[in-house]
Copies of this chain bind each other. A is one copy, B any other.
Amino acid sequence: MKILISNDDSIYSNGIKCLVEIAKKFGDVIVVAPNKPQSAKGHSISLTEPLRLKRKELFGPDVEAYACSGTPVDCVKLALDIVYDELPDLCLSGINHGSNASVNVIYSGTMGAAMEATMHGIPAIGFSDVNYDEKGDLAVCKMYAPIIIEQFLKFEKTKHRLINVNFPSIDVEEVMGIKICRQSMDVWKEKFVEREDPHGGKYYWLTGQFQSQDLGADTDVHAIKNGYVSVVPVKYDLTAHEDIAYLNKEWNINEKVG
């Protein structure tokens, strides 16, 4: 099995190193990952800047690895067009340092990379450790990621399958198990910090606070809080299908104007 690995914390992160070790047991690994941190780059791609790929020896002689100057989605696109001759069988993204549960999935470069693979028909998993500390021991990931990959490979859906996995930041003995969840619907309330440069010009740093709005017991946030590894099946059809009938009925617009 051919496995593509990417992430958004950069090819030098602890999380991707851990994921490569786990993935090696499942197949032949190629890594194409950003050469610098690309957190919160979502599904961004580089239309106006050229991209560079640099071969790296970071994961031992049996793992082909490339540092890429672009976003996580650029990495996957370059991997599929330039690095691989034919499409890989699986894409793994992460392990991200920090939660991609709830609406974080929308901002996440880790999930952007995984979703891009899925759009090309490659099954993909995004892994995140809720602990933002890049020096964390990732013991929960090491224990549970292989179990999830094994189950995922048996997932007989369409080929456009994608899951968002988040590991709780607790001791491995305290983990309650794995839970299938829906994405929690919360919001980041931003609070910009205003500064002044030496020339008197104002500038702003983005900071924010995560505000829980979704009290459901079936969400990823709820699962993680209760000691579970959360698994959310994800899709890239953003249509609010439930609104189509309403709009067709209420909007008298399906006719030519004038």
Contact = CB atoms under 8 A, between A and B. Distances in A.
Nearest to A234: B238
A45 interface: yes
B40 A47 contact: yes
Nearest to A256: B177
Interface stretch (A14-22, A56-64, A247-255): A247-255
Interface in A102-146: 103, 105-107, 112, 115, 119-120, 143-144
Contacts of A191: 81
A71 B44 CA distance: 10
Contact of A239 (B74, B115, B234, B253): B234
A244 interface: yes
Nearest to A251: B151
Contacts of A81: 190-192
Nearest to A205: B50
Contact of A257 (B51, B177, B254): B177
Contacts of A225: none
Interface in A206-258: 206, 208, 231-241, 243-244, 246-248, 250-251, 253-258
A97 interface: no
A239 B183 contact: yes
Contacts of A202: 52-53
A258 B143 contact: yes
Contact of A232 (B39, B144, B180, B239): B239
Contacts of A143: 257-258
A25 interface: no
Given A50-B204, A151-B253, A177-B254, 9 more contacts: A42-B45, A74-B206, A147-B253, A156-B250, A179-B254, A231-B247, A231-B251, A233-B239, A238-B238
**9 tightest A-B contacts by CB?**
A42-B43, A233-B243, A44-B44, A178-B253, A233-B240, A235-B240, A42-B42, A50-B203, A182-B239
